[in-house]
Amino acid sequence: MIHMRARRLLGDYLEGDLDLARRARVDAHLAECEECAREVRELRQTVSMLRGLPVEAPPALADAVMARIAAGEARPSRWVRATRHFGESGGGWALAAGFAALLIVVTLEPVPLGDPRGDFSMPVQVGSPVVVRVQPAASQSVPGRYGSARHTAAFAGAAAPAAVGALDDEVERLLRARDPESLVLLMTNPSRGQRTALRRGDARAERRLHSADETR
Amino acid sequence: MVETTLAAPRRAEARGPSPRHLDPDADLVTRWQEGEEEAFEALIRRHERRVFGLLWRMLGCREEAEDVAQEAFLSLHRHGHRFRGEARFSTFVYRVAANAALNRRRTLGRRRARERELAERQAAGTDLPSAPRSAEAAAAGSEVQTEVQRALQELPHDLRVATVLYDIEGVPYGEIARVLGIPEGTVKSRIHRARKALRDRLRPLMGAEHRSSEP
């Protein structure tokens, strides 16, 4: 077997994913190629090291979580409750897909100038609003501009609930942190949990938002 | 050849989509969604080891992992009404945990950069782990395990999550693909790339064994 071809098969070889004929050819190559044989030995040893890592959960993890739930910490925020219907019905998602963007403006408590949390590329205005920009399934109405059809389909399908959960968490985190560094949340590919938390004043972020506005 | 594969028996699980009646958690999930909090507690106890393990290996710090694990389960409780059983409940759990780990690493990134700068000034060139060395060594039980943990931390997020789920937690390819929203082939490719990167990083620790295993 040609050396480079054998090397490409080593991953599947190690996992036992090769058919018998190809496995036999790789075995024959390993018998005569010390470089590949060493690669296999080292990768096996690497996996062995990974599997040797001990893990045990902290004994009080479940108790701690249940105590926090009892204290009301798992209660959805008003933002989540307001948007919950999007995740509970296909109709909700279809409606959401009809909009090019959903703009939510939340006013936060004033943030003191010179707040040490993070480095701001522009001064943050006292009492400035936080803008959370969500773009659910926009490609249905504007094909090819916000994402591919595949993304849109996935967003409306089974992957959506967890992705929305992740978005909720991100928005809640931003709101809880009152972090003026992450004022703008642009969600471009919700189905895969990809989102971009962008800071206001970041030139690249502003360009992306501008571009989104123009295409809408 | 005595050993030809790394695949363990645990990987013999079904790889296709899992209807709800095949999900071992389905009964508990139903009871929880009907309002039985004890069922959610049982779900936590069933998955806490893997969730914590994933987070510990993703974040490199036991305390951070415990904190994020709590947040992940709270998030799960908050959004559990959205789980419809299209995938296994464990897939949903891993996805929430992996997202939580990614969010926490982003938050930690800037703070750790400042801490690292300070530590480097104090240690004058010493190569420090991301968490206090003595604590990590004690928790891991050996210097090799500490080095493996440090090597994991140096992997890009997408490679690390794939190899942690597969090589450490034993999650099958198909479920990882659904957790990450990528094709199975991409999962395999990421795992192989992760192993090679780890191998390069850990090769100095393999020297003695190499020499002893040479024919």
Check if A159 contacts B (Cβ < 8 Å): yes
Nearest to A194 by CA among A126, A158, A146: A146
- In this predicted model, what pLDDT tens digit does every residue of B56-77 receive, in sequence order? 898 888 888 999 999 999 988 8
CB within 8 Å of chain A, chain B residues 152-191: 152, 163, 167-168, 181-182, 188-189, 191
The residue that leads in pLDDT, B129 or B100, is: B100
What confidence category does residue A77 fall into, taking pLDDT thresholds of 50, 70 and 90?
Answer: low
Instruction: Provide the residue range defining the domain that includes B131.
Output: 18-207
Residue A204, CA atoms < 13 Å, CB-side half-sphere: 3
Q: Which two tokens stand for residue A82?
A: 């307001």
Q: What is the pLDDT of residue A25?
A: 92
ipTM of the complex: 0.70
| A141/chain B closest Cα distance in angstroms | 23
Interface with chain A: mutation pick from B195, B200, B203, B206, highest number of A CBs within 10 Å? B195
Quick check: is B117 in a domain? yes
Contacts with A41 from chain B: Cβ below 8 Å: 210, 213
| A206/chain B closest Cα distance in angstroms | 20
- Measured CA to CA in angstroms, residue A62 lies from A27, A66, B28, B66 at distances of 48, 6, 15, 11
The residue that leads in pLDDT, B10 or A37, is: A37
Contact A51 B167 (CB under 8 A): yes
Quick check: is B22 in a domain? yes
Size of interface A-B (CB pairs under 8 A): 174
CA distance B153 to B139: 16
Q: How far is Cα of residue B126 from the mean position of the Cα atoms in its chain? A: 28
- In this predicted model, what pLDDT tens digit does every residue of A5-51 receive, in sequence order? 888 899 889 888 888 999 999 999 999 999 999 999 999 999 999 98
Backbone φ, ψ for residue A104 (5° rounding) = -120, 125
Quick check: is B165 in a domain? yes
Closest partner CB to B48 (pick from A43, A62, A154): A62
Quick check: is B11 in a domain? no
CATH code for the domain in which residue B83 is found: 1.10.1740.10
Contact A88 B81 (CB under 8 A): yes
Q: What is the pLDDT of residue A37?
A: 93
| DSSP-derived secondary structure letter, B24 | T
Contacts with B51 from chain A: Cβ below 8 Å: 57
Quick check: is B3 in a domain? no
Burial zone of B81 (CB within 10 Å; 0-12 exposed, 13-18 middle, 19+ buried):
middle
Quick check: is B6 in a domain? no
Angle between helices A3-15 and B184-213 (to 10 degrees): 100
Contacts with A118 from chain B: Cβ below 8 Å: 110
Concatenated DSSP letters of A17-85? -S-HHHHHHHHHHHHH-HHHHHHHHHHHHHHHHHHT------TTHHHHHHHHHHTTTTSPPHHHHHHHH
Number of domains in chain B: 1
Q: Which residue of A has its CA nearest to B169?
A: A51
Residue A39, CA atoms < 13 Å, CB-side half-sphere: 23
pLDDT at B84 over 80: no
Q: What is the pLDDT of residue A56?
A: 75
What confidence category does residue B91 fall into, taking pLDDT thresholds of 50, 70 and 90?
Answer: confident
Highest mean predicted confidence (pLDDT) among A173-177, A180-184, B184-188: B184-188
Q: What is the pLDDT of residue B82?
A: 73
Quick check: is B68 in a domain? yes
| A142/chain B closest Cα distance in angstroms | 23
Check if A60 contacts B (Cβ < 8 Å): no
| B41/chain A closest Cα distance in angstroms | 6
Burial zone of B13 (CB within 10 Å; 0-12 exposed, 13-18 middle, 19+ buried):
middle
Quick check: is B213 in a domain? no
Spatial contact of A138 and A145, defined as CB atoms under 8 Å apart: yes
Contacts with B81 from chain A: Cβ below 8 Å: 84, 87-88
Contact B5 A16 (CB under 8 A): yes
What confidence category does residue B43 fall into, taking pLDDT thresholds of 50, 70 and 90?
Answer: very high
Q: Which residue of A has its CA nearest to B79?
A: A165
Q: What is the pLDDT of residue A70?
A: 87
